[in-house]
Amino acid sequence: MIAERGIAATRIADVAERAGTSPPAVLYWFDSKDELLTEALAHEEGRFRAQLVERLDGTSASERVAILIDASCGGSDWRLWMELWTRALHDREAGRTRRELDRLWRREIATTVEAGQRAGEFAQADAGEVAAHLASFLDGLAVQVALGDPEMPIERMSELARQMAERLLDCSLPAPEGYGDEVLEAVA
């Protein structure tokens, strides 16, 4: 609901309708609209991480980087994070949440980079620097994709991010899987 209409335009009545119930019923489970929105975003974040952990299990560093990029491209709806960003601009609590999520995400990348360096798969470079580079680049690309920029289809995002990682780490990454119709459709 949030991804479709945006936080600002999402009414309790919309959520209720989607859930096949009534506005007061929604407020029976959530104390307020604000709490509902906050929990929705937290839930999505949890879903994303869980899916990521599963995919990362028992893989090489190169594969991991490829998976992280891949997950960025299609694993979650960037519209949600963009909503969180603008929320974070004016809401202290949302700001804290956002910073924490980003810190974890960059750390995930940095840790993987370091592992790859120890395994000799990647060139020596400051892992934190690489993580900052890659994370920012992915954010920027995702904005274009989420906004349906004709010059930035999701395949190009994937390709550019991949090139960037290979350049930063001086390595070769395994090929990404294609994107299923659901993902392509969600982006469109």
Two tokens, residue 58: 């028992």
Q: How far apart are CA 134 and CA 73, in angstroms?
A: 13
* Closest to 176 measured CA to CA, from 96, 76, 45, 72: 72
Query: What one-character DSSP code corresponds to residue 171?
Result: -
Taking CB under 8 A as the rule, which mask of x and - marks residues 110-129 in contact with a second copy?
-------------------x
Two tokens, residue 179: 């994107």
In the complex with DNA, which residue's Cβ is closer, 5 or 99? 5
Interface of this chain with DNA, residues 23 to 52, rule: CB under 7 A: 23-25, 27-29, 32-34
Least distance CB 54 / a second copy (angstroms): 26
Least distance CB 74 / a second copy (angstroms): 17
Q: How far apart are CA 57 and CA 53, in angstroms?
A: 6
* Residue numbers at the binding site for a second copy (CB under 8 A): 5-9, 79, 82-83, 85-86, 88-90, 95, 98-99, 102-103, 106, 129, 132-133, 135-141, 143-144, 146-152, 156, 160, 164, 167
